[in-house]
Amino acid sequence: MSDNLDLQDKREMDAEAKEAAANAAEYEHGWSADIDTEFAEKGLTEDTVRFISAKKGEPEWMLDWRLKAFRLWEQMEEPDWAKVGYPKIDYQDAYYYAAPTKKVELDSLDDLDPEIKAVYDKLGIPLGEQEVLAGVKGAKKVAVDAVFDSVSVATTFREELRKAGVIFLSISEAIKEYPELVKKWLGKVVPQRDNYFATLNCAVFSDGTFVYVPEGVRCPMELSTYFRINAENTGQFERTLIIAEKGSYVSYLEGCTAPMRDENQLHAAVVELVAMEDAEIKYSTVQNWYPGNSEGVGGIYNFVTKRGLCQGDRSKISWTQVETGSAVTWKYPSCVLNGENSVGEFYSVAVTNNFQQADTGTKMIHNGKGSRSTIISKGISAGKSNNTYRGLVRVGVSADNVRNFTQCDSLLLGDECGAHTVPYIEVKNPGAQIEHEATTSKISEEQLFYAMQRGLDEEEAVALIVNGFAKDVLKELPMEFAVEAQKLLAISLEGSVG
């Protein structure tokens, strides 16, 4: 068979898979592939931690680090200050490790287990990446480090990145291949004892991504990872570490979807970013974990700790997130602005529908002189959901001339949902300029009728108005992600009007 025919077949297969995914009833990604999974035994003890570490063939220092975290975690209490409610989690009734049994090193995604490949297709990997994967000439390059059930099974473009000096590996590989780099930074941005969920992650993290961009290098492509929970009753504990050396730049895209399940699934990821002098990291997330059904049954519990360290002068870290999934979201991507004139940004759209609960926001910790931060948060609530923005702006004593601008807008659909804004402002330096603006609005009947009179049906009209509301955030996303995110907003709000 010629290459052309292969390409043709692949495209048809992609189209079929995409159509099938699009046709799935309530939840677009509500399916699960049948792949043999190797579990760690249920429950969480020191043995579980040792099992995970052994399974991954980790060095002694890593096991010790995990065990230290586990012992800390045993002494800690689950936090309850967020405006979310959920049944008590029995941490002894979950699995902490699952991996596909076939572990193979692949040169490209074409060599992937067809069933896993089909999963990726259903995920609707963006067109740009599909083209790259299909070898279409001139396609914009996006590297995909695909995380499937906790273990990276395929990494593309690694070679090209290596030529540029960029290290882009699963964190398991990085622990073995670059132990000094990992040791130097792991747990430095989010300390082991930071919070209950982060500490849990330290003990049992399954896999994740490691990126190192050396001095003066502009990463030649957008880096993208797809996470997916696939095994019933298995927590997902991703760990990401990105280091940008002096004067470097990297843009990282993270997208998540999860299959439909009745059990609530625990997800506690940790992301650590480090930006040195004049370095810039742009971290974009589209989060679409299974939110539970329209009755509020099932769905992912998403307890995430994301933090960036602007260590160097004039360094910059931007978080952009589109949060549409999960039954419970507890997530505050933050920036510690140590460098002089460093910049932190947080752009967020959080959508909640049905019985979803989101408590999300950011922390901007200003330690460096002249550091600046911008926070734009757009919360959209529908159904019986609750959507809370919780944000901290802290200015240290010696941080002169700090500026912060915060804007929190809430949009309500219907009258059974809630929107809450909880800003914390702690300023210890009198020279700081802090601005906070907040609005709450409802989609008006006039707006809906106006759009419908021009030809849009009710759901299209809602999608249009919501996308307009979220535009200031969506425009921060890389192009291919922005298009997906717009569709995702529309899908998430289906059935929320009328």
Q: Which chain residues interact with other proteins by CB under 8 A?
A: 444-447, 449-458, 460-461, 464-465, 467-472
The vertex-42 CA angle with 270 and 225, nearest 5°, equals 30
Shortest Cβ distance from residue 460 to other proteins (Å)? 6
Shortest Cβ distance from residue 458 to other proteins (Å)? 8
For 147-172, give one letter per residue: b (16+ CB within 10 A) or e: bbbbbbbbbbbbeebeeeebbbbbbb
- Nearest of 152, 176, 150 to residue 58 by alpha carbon: 176
Shortest Cβ distance from residue 455 to other proteins (Å)? 4
Shortest Cβ distance from residue 333 to other proteins (Å)? 23
The residue among 262 and 458 lying less far from other proteins, judged by its C-beta, is 458
Which DSSP symbol is given to 70? Answer: H
Which DSSP symbol is given to 157? Answer: S
Judge contact between 204 and 48, C-beta under 8 A. yes
CA–CA separation, 474 and 467 (whole Å): 8
Amino acid at 427: V
The label of the residue with tokens 């995990």 reads: 66
State the angle between helix axes of 46-55 and 196-204 in degrees (0 to 180), rounded to the nearest 10.
50
The residue among 258 and 451 lying less far from other proteins, judged by its C-beta, is 451
The continuous run of DSSP H or E covering 131 comes out as helix 127-134
The contacts of residue 4 (CB under 8 Å, 6+ apart) are none
Distances (CA, A) of 119 to 7, 116, 258, 261, 406: 18, 5, 11, 16, 39
The residue among 90 and 445 lying less far from other proteins, judged by its C-beta, is 445
Shortest Cβ distance from residue 56 to other proteins (Å)? 46
The residue among 87 and 498 lying less far from other proteins, judged by its C-beta, is 498
Shortest Cβ distance from residue 447 to other proteins (Å)? 5
Shortest Cβ distance from residue 91 to other proteins (Å)? 42
Shortest Cβ distance from residue 487 to other proteins (Å)? 13
The vertex-63 CA angle with 57 and 69, nearest 5°, equals 140
Joined together, the tokens standing for residue 285 give: 């997330």
The residue among 225 and 381 lying less far from other proteins, judged by its C-beta, is 381
The residue among 38 and 459 lying less far from other proteins, judged by its C-beta, is 459
The residue among 92 and 441 lying less far from other proteins, judged by its C-beta, is 441
The residue among 169 and 461 lying less far from other proteins, judged by its C-beta, is 461
